[in-house]
Amino acid sequence: MSSLTHFDDAGAPRMVDVSAKAVTARTARAHAFVRMSAKALAALDRNPKGNPLEIARVAGIMAAKKTAELIPLCHSLPLSHVDVVTRVASNGIHIESVASTTAQTGVEMEALTAATVAALTIYDMTKALDKSIEIAEVWLLEKTGGKSGDYRRPEPRAE
């Protein structure tokens, strides 16, 4: 058997068989950042398309529920909770998502998908205000549960 879990002995991609794994409570939190101009940030509450932050929150939740349809080898998971929170900063919008399940595999991809689609939604709803918007800093903040145990992203070092 291959040591790479998503490939069989012949090197073909495969979905990992998790049927022998224990069902445990699992959570994951992810982050994304949408960098934009101060002018675009100041116009968020007057956006003609609606409130980009609330639409992004709903889009992120919906995306987490569709992760297995978007990422070819992901397992479909019974999500027990998904949330997306946005926070406006001086140079953009921080997005944090959380996903939870009780299952045989983790929810990292669901949390990352939620944060990323929320960022894309903010981009879509504000692109008329600022053509130089950037989506950056997409990463897993932490995960709990499962065979590999808990993980927490180290705080970035001060430069």
pLDDT along the chain (159 residues), means of 10: 59 73 91 96 89 97 97 91 97 98 92 98 94 96 90 74
Which among 40, 26, 39 is positioned nearest to 111, based on CA atoms?
A: 26
pLDDT given for residue 156 in this prediction: 66
Predicted local confidence at residue 62, as pLDDT: 98
Please name every residue paired with 35 in a beta bridge, in sequence order, or none if there are none: 92, 134
Catalytic position from the list 17, 124, 130, 150: 124
Does 150 participate in catalysis according to the annotation?
A: no
Q: What are phi and psi of 7, to 5 degrees?
A: -135, 140
| Cα(34)–Cα(132) distance, integer angstroms | 11
The pLDDT score that the predictor gives to residue 49 is 83
pLDDT of residue 127: 93
Beta strands in 40-130 (DSSP E): 79-89, 92-103
pLDDT value, residue 28: 97
Alpha carbon separation from 114 to 8, 42, 142 (Å, rounded): 29, 25, 14
Question: What is the structure's pLDDT at 53?
Answer: 97
CATH code, 24-145: 3.30.70.640
Q: What is the pTM of this model?
A: 0.88
